Every structure is written in C-alpha cells, then in structure tokens.
C-alpha cells in the first residue's frame, strides 16, 4: 500500500492577483533537490491552462493530499494492534503450552511413582508365587510319599487279608476235623454196665433213641414218647441234623419233635414245650436225612429220645467223651 503512494513537493509562487505563473513554477523546480524531503519523487510537468494563465488547484486536491498520511498512520495503527493481538495470542498459547507441559510432567511423575509401586507389588507377588510354588512342590512330594505309603499299606493289608483268609480256612478245616473227631468219639460211647438204655432202644450220639415200627399221627407219636418218659427227637444244640446211616439211606418218613406255627418257621420241643389244648396244622418229619414239613394228621413212624441211664463210672467218663 505504501508503494502505491506518490508524494510531490510542489512549490508555487503567487503572482499579482493571486495567480501563479509558469516562471514561478520553473523557479520552484530549480530549487535544490536536497531541500526537498521527498528525494525519490520525480516532479511531473505542471499543467498549462488556457490564455497563458496558470492552472489553479481545487480544494479537493489538497484534502486528498492530507488524507494519505492519515490513512498510512491508521494502517500502521491497525498493524500495531494486530501485532499486539498476535503477541497476546502467542503469549497465551505459550503459557497454555507451559501449563500443559507442567501437567504432563506432573502426570509423568505420578505415573512413574505408580509404575514403581506396581513393580514393587509385582516383585512381591512373584516372590509370594515362588513361595507358594515351593510349598505346592513340597505338598506334592508329601502327597506322593503318602500315596506310596498308602500303596505299601494296602499291599500289606492285602497280604494280611490273604493270610487271614488262609488262617480262616485252616481254622474251618480244624473245626471240621474236630467235629469229625467228636462224632467219632460220640459214636464210641458205650454204657459200661450195659443197662444205660431201655430194652429196644439204641444208644447213638449220647442219646437213647427209639424207632417205632408202627405208624401214627404226629400227636399220637408225641403222646407215645411221653408215655415212655421221653420226647420226639430234636436237633438240639448241634447245627447238623445227625441220624444213623440206616435211617438216612432209608426213604421212610419219621415224625420228629418239630412244629410249624408259621409255614416256614420251625420250632423244636426242647425250645418250646407244648401247652395243653395247643394245636398245629403242620409238623416236622425226617426223610432220607432231611427235615420236611408235613401235615400233622399224616401217619408215619416216629423217633423218641431220652438221656441214657449211666453208672457212676460212666457218668464221669461220658462228659469227657462228649467234650472230646
């Protein structure tokens, strides 16, 4: 904008009557250029008026000359205001950047402290994890040893169980042999004076037994044994039902001292004596060495039993033989 403004230093001499002449203009041009504040401005030719008269400048021309410096001053002021505004903005931005930098530095400090704390916590956690792993390793080793010990104990238990089973089998064999010995000894019992059992009775397994030839109902058989001061044959304490071999091989049926209050529940007379007026539908009989349930009205032979009549010597020997 400043390059497009031309400044001219025109000096005019007034002639008579207030008019300037051409000679005066030329004299003004002859003034030394050093006297002019506008060294770089080349003066142009002055306009020539009509009739030899110098041209008179209008008042608008002089007002335009005065507005040029004012506009330049206003532009400079605006430029100065703009520079001040820019400087202010620059200062504000710089100040904000400094604040942001300080905040970032503070945040970095906080983050550094937190990172250090996290690193310390991580180290402690790793140490604790190492301790836990070591404890788990020890626990695993102890559990492994315990499992080995348990396996050893189980093997020992299996061995002891096998030995116990063998011992139990041997004990059963011994008990069987002892029972066979008792049976053999009991079969050798004899009456020393020959009158331990009534006439017609048989001494067998420490009992005097009577085997009838006739056949009667169970009740009649029962009363016949009572009249002989005896009772129908019962199993007794022994778990085995023992009869003479000739009775076991025979298919004949014999009444014995067993009754059935319920269809499958047998009761022996030595455990439950009969009461007067008591009646049963089913009674026990033996056939081929087995006990069977039959109607009490059926008629079979019967077997009575009673204790032997022993002398003083046999009374002392018989218990020993029974125990042997």
* Domain CATH for 271: 3.10.100.10
Least confident of 43-52, 196-205, 243-252: 43-52
Residue 250 has pLDDT above 90, yes or no: no
What's the confidence (pLDDT) of residue 64? Answer: 60
Domain boundary among 89, 121, 149: 89
Q: Give the C-alpha distances (Å, rounded to integers) separating 9 from 1, 2, 64, 292, 301.
A: 20, 17, 14, 168, 182
Say if 212 falls within a structural domain. yes
Domain boundary among 38, 62, 89: 89
Of residues 184 and 116, which shows the higher confidence score?
116
Residue 301 has pLDDT above 70, yes or no: yes
Of residues 312 and 253, which shows the higher confidence score?
253
What's the confidence (pLDDT) of residue 188? Answer: 46
Residue 44 has pLDDT above 90, yes or no: no
Domain boundary among 89, 106, 138: 89
Say if 31 falls within a structural domain. yes
Neighbours of 282 (CB within 10 A): 20
pLDDT band at 311 (very low <50, low <70, confident <90, very high): low
pLDDT band at 65 (very low <50, low <70, confident <90, very high): low
**How many domains does one find in the chain?**
2
Say if 323 falls within a structural domain. no
Say if 42 falls within a structural domain. yes
Say if 155 falls within a structural domain. no
Residue 160 has pLDDT above 80, yes or no: yes
Say if 59 falls within a structural domain. yes
Least confident of 8-22, 213-227, 258-272: 8-22
What's the confidence (pLDDT) of residue 246? Answer: 75
What's the confidence (pLDDT) of residue 6? Answer: 43
Say if 50 falls within a structural domain. yes
Domain interval for residue 230: 207-307
Say if 106 falls within a structural domain. no
Q: At what angle do helices 312-323 and 59-187 cross, to 10 degrees?
A: 150
CB contact set of 245 (below 8 Å; sequence gap of 6+): none
Residue 267 has pLDDT above 80, yes or no: yes
Alpha-carbon span 130 to 117, nearest angstrom: 20
What's the confidence (pLDDT) of residue 24? Answer: 44
């Amino acid at each position: 904008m400043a390059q497009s403004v031309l400044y001219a230093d025109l000096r005019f001499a007034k002639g008579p009557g207030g008019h300037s002449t051409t000679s005066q203009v030329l004299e003004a041009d002859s003034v030394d250029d050093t006297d002019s504040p506008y060294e770089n401005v080349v003066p142009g030719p002055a306009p020539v008026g009509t009739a030899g008269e110098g041209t008179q400048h209008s008042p608008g021309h002089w007002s335009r000359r005065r507005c040029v410096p004012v506009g330049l001053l206003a532009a400079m002021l605006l430029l100065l205001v703009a520079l001040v505004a820019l400087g202010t903005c620059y200062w504000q931005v710089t100040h904000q950047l400094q604040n942001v930098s300080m905040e970032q530095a503070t945040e970095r400090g906080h983050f550094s402290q937190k990172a250090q704390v996290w690193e310390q916590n991580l180290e402690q956690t790793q140490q604790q994890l190492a301790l836990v792993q070591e404890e788990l390793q020890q626990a695993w080793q102890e559990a492994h040893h315990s499992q080995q010990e348990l396996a050893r104990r189980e093997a020992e238990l299996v061995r002891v169980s096998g030995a116990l089973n063998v011992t139990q089998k041997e004990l059963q064999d011994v008990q069987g042999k002892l029972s066979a010995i008792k049976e053999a000894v009991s079969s050798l019992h004899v009456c020393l004076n020959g009158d331990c059992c009534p006439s017609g009775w048989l001494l067998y397994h420490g009992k005097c037994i009577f085997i009838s030839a006739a056949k009667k109902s169970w009740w009649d058989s029962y009363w016949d044994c009572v009249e002989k001061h005896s009772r129908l044959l019962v199993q007794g304490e022994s778990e085995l039902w023992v009869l003479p071999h000739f009775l076991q091989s025979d298919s004949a049926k014999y009444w014995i001292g067993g009754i059935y209050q319920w269809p499958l529940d047998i009761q022996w007379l030595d455990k439950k004596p009969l009461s007067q007026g008591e009646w049963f539908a089913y009674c026990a009989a033996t056939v081929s060495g087995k006990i069977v349930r039959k109607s009490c009205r059926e008629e079979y032979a019967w077997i009575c039993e009673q204790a032997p009549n022993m002398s003083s010597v046999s009374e002392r020997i018989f218990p020993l033989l029974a125990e042997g």
